[in-house]
Amino acid sequence: MADTIRVGAGCLNQLPLDWSGNRRRILASIAQAREAHVSVLCLPELAITGYGCEDQFLSHEVAERSWESLVEIAEHTKDMVVAVGLPVWVKNAIYNSVAVIVDGEIKGLIAKKNLAGDGLHYEPRWFHAWPEGVIVTDKFGELHLPIGDPIFKLGGIRIGLEVCEDAWVADRPGRLFAGSGVDIILNPSASHFAFAKQEVREQFVVEGSRAFGAAYVYANLLGNEAGRAIYDGGGLIASAGKVVAEGRRFSFQETTLVHKSVDIERNRLLQARTVSRKIDVQGLSEIELPFEWPEVTRQDGQDPLPPMSKDEEFTRAMALAYFDYLRKSWSNGFVVSLSGGADSAAVSSFVKIMLDLALNELGEERVRERLPHLDLPENTNDWMKILLFCAYQGTKNSGETTRNAARTVAAALGCDYAEWEVDDLVEGYESTIESVLKRQLSWQTDDLARQNIQARVRAPGIWMMANIRNALLLATSNRSEAAVGYATMDGDTSGGLSPIAGIDKHYLREWLRFMESTGLPESPSIKELSQINVQNPTAELRPEDANQTDEDDLMPYQVLDTLERAAIRDKKGPKSALKVIRATYPQHEEKQLVDWTKKFYQLWCRNQWKRERYAVAFHVDDQNLDPKSWCRFPVLSAGFREELSQL
């Protein structure tokens, strides 16, 4: 029996239902692990199919094809122990399971006990939760195998598994491992990115290692797998109650590996010293198999990494999400209606950051390989003209400040850029409607309609450019606007992807200042964003003498975001939300706070139909408003009418 074992966590950038591609990346990770002399390799949850298969998990053919892939993968695992996730059927129920492969042979399956059903997770729609302590034998392909929650005792080393959500619950399966003398715990996961979430993962990995006296190995998915969710990667290894190795997060590689040699005897000593540990003499059911553990001669591996700031996390997560969406949708780049304001500047800047980070990590040739459908010029300095087209679409209500800002930012990004006017289109629509109404339109009687038509006439031209370039049109609406419907449907909401619809305006402006002043080592600051950051946000849809600003139309963005968190995240009614902003913003008069509270709830309720129509948005914050993945609300409701009247 070995005293020291080299364990590894492989993080994979998978794609739902990509059988050959997913298998190729799994085999590449196994090859990487073998080269690093890893004996125990943990791969992500549902890595064979992809985590985001949605209702296709209900297809029996999906399970059959994933099993065929597993059988092929097993052939490449000689002298290794590998855990990899896939869906399986047992008695006409589907289980989120992990296959344990030992020395080239599939020896059993662990089924997930605690299904993720909150936020963007929907596992109970497809899977059944496995009952604790139950092990059955069933036929899978040509094999009869045990499935349930056994421990694998391999060459005297006990290995147990917690599958993603299993480790996040209070009654986690690992509590049973401590009394059974488990040496290594594997956690195959599909844990989406959210701000500061890696710190939470580290906590349960460390606590699992400390409390259960075991080495703990956590493997995650990587990148934008299926459209909305972004996965960090960032595999973790803990031993003796400390993180001893951490993999790179937000990597542009298809596979990453973190590995470390762990001292089994030291962890066993910690178990022995823990007098309060309840020993289960009978122990959990074990599958005992012979296995020759290789001698570990070097104590090498990756060290833990320093934590990232919120700005760095956001920048790297969005850049990777852009890159994956671009290549997985086979789009020929991006198109943006660049208004000279904060939202469109941020949406456009991420394309440049994406390219900077990809080139820095992968190099020119690898980027070309990952984007084979693009005809990229020989000189990388010209790539942005292929990857991004921006247009400033002016009207007589547009100011020189925004026009100059758009022009300056576009030049700094190096993208393809054009300017054109849309006044003739606006006037044409207004003239047509005036002839029908038999009166002239005015700002006094037709304010909203005249604002919206300016936003809407910008959509066909920019859509046309996206179609001509076979590129992806990016919508520019943010989460604060989504909350109160401060967006023109078929105007600034037009697009196939809405990258910042999950980010509030207040933070987005903070991030733009970060990119103006600091940036990342691989993607330096964009000083030209100063022309964006000095402005007060404005839609520029009323005449110039109206001095229109977003916050005059709505309320201060900080107040709006505080109300949104209280009402939507914390599910507080108007009276309780008013208490929150009263305590947070005592500098404002009571009547003003009441008016803002009423306005928020009224606009929130009236505009659910808009949120239902938003393009796909990246999930970067667990305060999301996306009704398709996070925040459900009725399209029609009483709109808190009684509650608001009581304010």
Phi, psi torsion values for 500, nearest 5 degrees: -105, 15
How far apart are alpha carbons 383 and 378 in whole angstroms? 9
Amino acid at 155: G
Same fold, 4-289 and 310-554: no
Average pLDDT of the residues of the chain: 94
How far apart are alpha carbons 17 and 64 in whole angstroms? 12
Phi/psi class of residue 141: alpha, beta or left (left: φ > 0; alpha: ψ in -120 to 50)? left
CATH number of the domain located at residue range(s) 310-554 in this protein: 3.40.50.620
Instruction: Tell me what pLDDT residue 538 has.
Output: 73
User: pLDDT digit string (tens) for 173-207?
Assistant: 888 888 888 999 999 999 999 999 999 999 999 99
Q: What is the tally of helices (H) and strands (E) in the chain?
A: 21, 21
How far apart are alpha carbons 189 and 167 in whole angstroms? 10
Amino acid at 542: R
CA distances (Å), 503 to each of 178, 361, 432, in order? Answer: 41, 26, 38
Write the DSSP string, 74-85: HTT-TT-EEEEE
Instruction: Tell me what pLDDT residue 435 has.
Output: 96
Instruction: Tell me what pLDDT residue 543 has.
Output: 79
User: pLDDT digit string (tens) for 96-136?
Assistant: 999 999 999 999 999 999 999 988 889 999 999 999 999 99
Q: Which CATH superfamily is domain 4-289 in?
A: Carbon-nitrogen hydrolase (3.60.110.10)
Instruction: Tell me what pLDDT residue 1 has.
Output: 61
Phi, psi torsion values for 85, nearest 5 degrees: -90, 145
Domain residue spans of the chain: 4-289, 310-554
- Which residue numbers in the chain have pLDDT < 70? 1, 275-277, 280-283, 298-301, 539-541
Burial of 414 (0-12, 13-18, 19+ CB in 10 A): middle
Instruction: Tell me what pLDDT residue 281 has.
Output: 56
Write the DSSP string, 363-415: -HHHHHHH-TTS---SSGGGHHHHHEEEEEEE-TT--HHHHHHHHHHHHHHT-
Instruction: Tell me what pLDDT residue 378 has.
Output: 96
User: pLDDT digit string (tens) for 197-243?
Assistant: 999 999 999 999 999 999 999 999 999 999 999 999 999 999 999 99
Helix 423-437 and helix 447-469, axial crossing angle in degrees, nearest 10:
130
Instruction: Tell me what pLDDT residue 299 has.
Output: 63
